[in-house]
Structure 1
Amino acid sequence: MNLYEHGNLALKGNLAPELYPYTSPGPLPLPDYETERRNRERRLHRLQYENSIYLNYKQGTRARSRHLFSLVLVVIAAVAVLGISVLRYAKITELNFSNVRLNREIKELEIENSLIQNAIINKINLDEIRENARTEAGLQQVSPQQIVQLDFSVSDKVVYTTGSASEMEYDFAVDTVIDWVMDQRQSQP
């Protein structure tokens, strides 16, 4: 099979130069098994060393990433707590400003109210009110016989079951005045 003469790859008339001289193969050298074994062991040790370096790097990376993750969680928790406290203090400050504004408005209204009361008191003429009470409402000057003094002992107590005492006293006084005025109107011809 050294000379391929048939088929599409056949040499035509030996036109191609001879690429490989026909030499008779000599005896093959015996392989050096000891050198190959040492090379394999060196390669195995090198691969084991590289693998151990890779595993150490991988374990270190995992430990660093866990540590970094826990550090990030701690920072996020601290920021959240700080943010909540800042928001609460901001809300407290806002409410404080609102209270100051309301107190200022209350003081302004009290000043305005006192000015109006003073103006009303200055305009009130007690003699004119007394005259209007006599003519329009039919009220009379109280005589000393009409004044009744009541003596309440120390053991007497008034118990209010519903409502506040001041409201009940006010309602009682208003009802008494209304009843008296109605009686006076009915008694007049």
Structure 2
Amino acid sequence: MAARQNYSAGRQQYARRSSERNSASAQMYVYGNVVTKPAYEPRRHEKSPERPVKRTSRQVRRNRRQALHMSSAYVVFLTIAALMALIVCVNYVQLQSRITSRSKNITAMQEELADMKEENNTKYNAIMDSVNLDEIRDKAQTDLGMVYASPQQVVEYDNPATDYVKQYESIPEDGVLAQSDKNSK
């Protein structure tokens, strides 16, 4: 305590001397381009007096100790919960990684499909442009002797079973190949 009083007394004397110096230097004229800055010191705040310590009852202290104490079952429960949370987080990150890689794979396949479709359309258009149906008809009629069918040669028929024909036998004169249950009713 005595050291503290001596220290604060020394500080007060220093503050008085520096204020005297500052007032004297404020009246002096300083030559040159460098002006010394006055030394300012922050004010020291005195500590507030300490509050008296209240004595707590034995029951309050026991309750506080019990509140701070964790049982071994609670520690095990917290450890298991933390491990489960860690496992869930790791699985979530792995799932996100798989989703991202599959998304990139799908994007690459879609680009490949678009390229193949474009190439296929280009080849199809080139083939269609190279085929001239008038030229083929003229060549078939003149060189190969093709003639159009006469109306007596055309036989129309109803095929109720399917919408396409596979001819394994002759087509009957009446034009009906087969009867289905739908048409007979």
TM (norm. structure 2) is 0.42
TM (norm. structure 1) is 0.42
